[in-house]
Structure 1
């Protein structure tokens, strides 16, 4: 049996991981330079790295595509697995189920990346706020953070002790994406909610139409809000770093509710803390760059500021013209997006036309990852997703060859 981890490149004996024996754990061993050379030959190969190269603004043969919530309720097989798991949290907290649903969209569609199946609210749950998903009501916290005493009790959770099921899932997904010869199909994305978005749920106790409670705290007691955000930023950075160490090859910060803030408040309560997270992230692991994506829904007016945070790519919703966005960032970052998810309810030819419009808007330039402007709807016909993926690959190849518009 040969080890499957790329060896150390500094001339030191490398710690390598042997394949698991049935029911056993990997065994780290020390190996000589000669043995490391053999290990290097059999090291894992990424068969499709188009997504990662696009994030780093390198030339690609076509535009890569993945979809927010690509593993979800629009897929019948996802619903069958969720029924076996018993609940959403049962699905997310059991690595074998999380692995199964992460891979389901890849079995249907030739997507260019996998994204860890989990939830953005795992961190507040690990803080002891008591996350629950009531049927038809969305996420709820049993212990929302409303008082000075509540805020004082907040602490960065022990990631290994409280969120080990997530890092276990990352490792299991990486194994499932890799064949017996060490060839991995596509990269794996890890993710977290942003400090502000987590705070919205933590203070509101769940979702909200107007975020009245969390905004009131931000304006009336900014000291308390900054304390929450500081703890959240430390936790998000530690959480994403743990995912990277477990095998995530890119990470994304979902600032779903940053766009609910006014200009000025956005910079103080959201953007600054995204910047703090990025400053703490491991940007290289096992000798490879780990790109970071930041997405603020409704954040197009702050595109230049997002691009200056140190992120590798900025996610955009459908309200932004992609071509003008590319000009605004002037090659500093890659862009991800930005088809309106509701277009997937249109007839196939309309879907293909809108996909072409997004690609044509960006043009024949490096640094674009195709995605939706937000998560895919649970009511989306899967066959319409197939049309989208096919058209993105087909038309972007035509653009590269000079045959596209």
Structure 2
């Protein structure tokens, strides 16, 4: 397989030299090959024709020839190459500058050969299309500056049916168009993602990360009594925007969309069923009605305690967190629901043998090789040894089952 001309130079240089924020000019090609380049060369040599869409087929619920693998937060701070950017440039500059976002999306695939490249971005990225101002501040995390408390606040937001994503978020198209070409050259799939409506609503209402989401829950209770319907009105606007945003990503080249309900752990089963679930279903329905052949994965972080409520989300696959045994999750969801997950991210701090055994156990409990999509039950943690990620990916691709 031939590497694309855009990818080859990046294999030769340190990330510190690869891009300038004000220029797309790369450094000269006199540097020594990095270990990421060597890993990429190895993954190219062992690639097979089916690898191009094995993740897509698995996400549709098809049984495939081996268990495919990608990792949440696979482009992240555990990689030294990634930190060369994150320590120098603010998050939004990195995620909204196509050259940098593309490079950060590709680093992990070049190093480890996962079965999908996921766009480097954030679930909050589309909020400005509704008129919601945010930033991601180093040391503080997401900071949302637009207050949403009343029905009037929601009414002032843009109409989600008329948003022009090319105009409001022009970098998304450029990033995904480039990554689509890179994924084809690398014989792998391209993953897009969106935040679920409840999670985006809670982030906005709280203005930052929150331990209890108290303001959001007060608004949910006021919504129930009819005193203030801002919550249901806001979450409905977000559902339409998110559904359309997912469609936009597909039109730009994404082959799979994962919906992140990152704050499901803040919800009781009742809260999930009353607010989060209908809104997520609406967003998913918008995507599936327009692009029925593009698989959608739904992941409710902390939602394994009400996993039975997720059987009818309308998506193609349910991703489960690490707080439930994979065999139990498979039983709860039933044989007709495709499943993804769910290794505890802390296993990556274990020994090579522990990591490989955890991979084998997860695959076996999911039904055996080719019966699910292997992932972590949350994101790769900061400080994870880089070689540990390689051990996980390699074992997943190698494992042929207990009886092999």
In structure 2, the partner of 1:30 is none
Which of 134, 153, 174 aligns to 2:137? It is 134
Which of 59, 82, 107 aligns to 2:110? It is 107
In structure 2, the partner of 1:94 is 97
In structure 2, the partner of 1:193 is 195
Which of 261, 264, 280 aligns to 2:267? It is 261
In structure 1, the partner of 2:387 is 383
Which residues in structure 2 correspond to 1:4-403 (within 5 Å)? 47-83=51-87, 86-155=89-158, 156=160, 157-179=163-185, 185-222=187-224, 223-282=229-288, 289-364=293-368, 366-395=370-399, 397-399=400-402, 402-403=403-404
The whole-number CA distance in structure 2 between the counterparts of 1:389 and 1:365 is 14
Deviation at 1:128, TM superposition (A): 2.7
The whole-number CA distance in structure 2 between the counterparts of 1:148 and 1:277 is 21
Deviation >4 Å, runs of 4+: 282-285
The C-alpha deviation readout for 1:305-357, integer Å capped at 9, x for no partner, is 32212210001001112112222322222101001111111122222222222
Residue 254 of structure 1: SS of its match in structure 2?
A: strand
- Asked whether the 8 Å contact 2:369–2:401 carries over to 1, the reply is no
Structure 1: 5+ residue stretches without partners: 1-22, 24-44
Shift in alpha-carbon separation, 1:190–1:255, aligned structure 2, 3 A: same
Cα RMSD after superposing both structures: 2.0
The whole-number CA distance in structure 2 between the counterparts of 1:345 and 1:78 is 19
The C-alpha deviation readout for 1:276-331, integer Å capped at 9, x for no partner, is 1111114675xx82100001112123323322122100010011121122223222
Q: TM-score, normalised by structure 1?
A: 0.82
Structure 2: 5+ residue stretches without partners: 1-23, 25-48
Deviation at 1:46, TM superposition (A): 7.2
The whole-number CA distance in structure 2 between the counterparts of 1:278 and 1:143 is 26
- Asked whether the 8 Å contact 2:347–2:355 carries over to 1, the reply is yes
Shift in alpha-carbon separation, 1:365–1:353, aligned structure 2, 3 A: closer
Q: TM-score, normalised by structure 2?
A: 0.82
The whole-number CA distance in structure 2 between the counterparts of 1:284 and 1:221 is 31
The whole-number CA distance in structure 2 between the counterparts of 1:193 and 1:336 is 17
The C-alpha deviation readout for 1:227-284, integer Å capped at 9, x for no partner, is 0001000000010000001110010100011231112111111011111111111467
The C-alpha deviation readout for 1:126-166, integer Å capped at 9, x for no partner, is 32322112221101012221234322212224322212211
The whole-number CA distance in structure 2 between the counterparts of 1:361 and 1:177 is 30
